[in-house]
């Protein structure tokens, strides 16, 4: 099966498919999602090799991501087939005249999906937004990411074949790349969101990109929802007794450094800011974490532009006089590899935690902030909305538990997911997962882009009052 290669063609086909596909039973939608998973599985080796070439991510990481993506497709299909996505509210005899009131959940219609660069499978063309929209009964028009043009097109071909094999209406799955707008991906994205047949948007990317799509959606004659995940610094708060001995400091320095540098630090859940106690133990942890990060070999980043931005951030922190470690990984007198990310960390005090130190920086870098743990709640309150927040504590310490009890209300108010004694990287695709957060981490803090609750973004409830149940398909 081929897909339409022009914006108008793809969206018109999606609009024509919306009614027929939206009327499919949940069991048929499950079978389609399983077919998509099977098709990706069959093409796994080819796709991983192509992804490795375009992203410079490791084959092991990409292979695991394919597994996550196929599992996600199957999970969402099984979820809707079991009817677990439905609100199922009923109020028998509650309306005037004794009529029953009950709700049904109907698909919104064609959904525009923007593939992300850092997860070419799980958040790319076949990712969570595509899977959840199809599960909800909505056709999708996916805009491929320009950083991975060949991979995006090949995945689209694989999915289009699976959708056709499931006898879905033409237009159920559509794909566009930069060539669809004369090589201008930004213009293509805005035009896609402005198209009157598009009824919702799923986006993962930068704050600037997400805000531009939100503004375009809000300015339409018929405004539509944009579910944008736009980033986070994912603060980590280390409590004193967790690092009171050398073993604890070694454990957490190693874990934090791995989370900061894993996948080149190009994860939306990377711990970008770590608060450590302003004590000898805290400073020892900060120093060891800095060393562990800086001791990591240079990591190829997704694009030369991202690597350049990472180097600019490193230079800016050096100019500001913040104690930093890591740029020495570039040998003197040599030009850095244009795509390489050189891991580094910056160490500051709480009074200097302002401006750019509070912003997300893509790449293998972190800001370590020395602070009085008594000030942790106020520091948390001063942060913007986050995808995650993490507490590292000694479970057996009454002092750490008391400090955590005082801190947790602030973290719950600021983050979509709170992690205890772990790192925030690695998002489980499960029913209870919340991958979202208050503004500006996302555009809709109540929603999630991971887990079965993601399906609900692309449906709306309709109350039926007194309507005979046998008339509703």
Q: Is 36 marked active-site?
A: no
Cα separation, 70 vs 78, in Å, equals 12
Task: State residue 157 phi and psi, 5-degree precision.
Answer: -65, -40
> How many CB atoms neighbour CB 186 within 10 A?
13
Region of residue 87 (phi > 0: left; psi between -120 and 50: alpha; otherwise: beta): alpha
- Tokens representing 38 are 């099977």
- In three-state secondary structure terms, 135 is helix
- Distance in angstroms (rounded) separating the CA atoms of residues 64 and 53: 16
| Residue partners of 309: CB distance under 8 A and separation at least 6 | 361, 362, 363
CB-count burial class (<10 Å; 0-12, 13-18, 19+) for 359: middle
Catalytic status, residue 222 = no
Backbone angles phi, psi at 300, to 5 degrees: -60, 130
Integer-rounded Cα radius of gyration of the chain? 24
Catalytic residue among 54, 65, 138, 268: 268
Residue 463 in tokens = 């109350």
Distance CA 410, CA 231 (A): 19
Q: Nearest to residue 341, comparing CAs of 305, 287, 288?
A: 305
Query: Which residue reads 């996505």 in tokens?
Result: 85
The HSE-up count of residue 214 (CA atoms within 13 Å, CB side) is: 17
**Left (φ > 0), alpha (ψ -120 to 50) or beta: where does 167 sit?**
left
Q: Taking each helix axis as running N to C, give the angle between helix 44-55 and helix 26-42, from 0 to 180 degrees, rounded to the nearest 10.
A: 70
CB contact at 8 A, 277 and 397: no
Q: How far apart are CA 391 and CA 323, in angstroms?
A: 24
Tokens of 303: 């694009």
Minimal CA–CA distance to 126: which of 73, 54, 180, 59? 73
- Whether the link from the prior residue into 440 is cis, omega within 30° of 0, is yes
Question: Among the options 65, 229, 360, 453, which is catalytic?
Answer: 229
**461 backbone dihedrals φ, ψ, rounded to 5°:** -85, 145
Catalytic residues, by residue number, are 229, 268
């Amino acid at each position: 099966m081929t897909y339409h290669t022009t914006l108008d063609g793809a969206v018109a086909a999606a609009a024509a498919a919306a009614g027929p596909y939206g009327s499919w039973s949940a069991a048929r939608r499950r079978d389609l999602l399983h077919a998509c998973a099977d098709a990706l599985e069959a093409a796994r080796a080819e796709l991983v090799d192509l992804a490795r070439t375009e992203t410079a991510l490791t084959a092991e990481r990409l292979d695991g991501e394919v597994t996550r993506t196929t599992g996600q497709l199957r999970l969402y299909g099984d979820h809707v087939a079991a009817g677990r996505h439905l609100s199922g509210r009923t109020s028998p005899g509650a309306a005037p005249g004794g009529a029953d009131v009950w709700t049904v959940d109907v698909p919104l219609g064609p959904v525009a999906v923007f593939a992300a660069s850092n997860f070419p499978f799980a958040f790319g063309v076949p990712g969570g937004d595509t899977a959840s929209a199809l599960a909800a009964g909505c056709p999708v028009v996916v805009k491929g990411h320009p950083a991975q043009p060949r991979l995006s097109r090949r995945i689209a071909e694989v999915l289009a074949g699976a959708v056709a094999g499931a006898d879905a209406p033409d237009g159920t799955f559509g794909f566009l790349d930069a060539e669809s707008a004369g090589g201008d991906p930004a213009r293509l994205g805005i035009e896609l969101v402005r198209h009157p047949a598009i009824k919702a948007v799923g986006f993962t990317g930068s704050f600037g990109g997400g805000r531009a799509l939100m503004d375009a959606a809000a300015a339409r004659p018929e405004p539509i929802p944009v579910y944008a995940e736009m980033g986070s610094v994912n603060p980590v708060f280390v409590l004193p007794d967790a690092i009171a001995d050398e073993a604890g400091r070694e454990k957490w320095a190693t874990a934090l450094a791995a989370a900061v540098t894993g996948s080149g630090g190009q994860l939306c859940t990377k711990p970008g800011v770590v608060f450590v106690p302003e004590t000898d133990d805290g400073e020892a942890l900060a120093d060891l974490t800095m060393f562990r990060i800086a001791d990591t070999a240079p990591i190829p980043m997704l694009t030369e532009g991202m690597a350049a931005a990472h180097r600019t951030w490193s230079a800016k922190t050096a100019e500001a006089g913040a104690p930093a470690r890591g740029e020495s990984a570039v040998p003197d007198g040599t030009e850095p590899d244009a795509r390489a990310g050189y891991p580094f960390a910056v160490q500051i005090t709480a009074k200097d935690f302002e401006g750019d130190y509070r912003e997300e920086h893509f790449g293998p870098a972190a800001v370590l902030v020395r602070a009085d743990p008594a000030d942790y709640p106020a520091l948390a309150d001063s942060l913007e909305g986050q995808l995650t927040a993490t507490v590292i504590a000694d479970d057996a310490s009454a002092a750490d538990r008391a400090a955590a009890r005082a801190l947790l209300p602030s973290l719950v108010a600021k983050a979509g997911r709170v992690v205890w004694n772990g790192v925030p990287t690695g998002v489980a695709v499960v029913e209870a997962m919340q991958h979202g957060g208050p503004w500006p981490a996302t555009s809709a803090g109540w929603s999630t882009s991971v887990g079965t609750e993601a399906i609900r973004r692309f449906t709306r409830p309709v109350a039926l009052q007194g309507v005979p149940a046998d008339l509703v398909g």
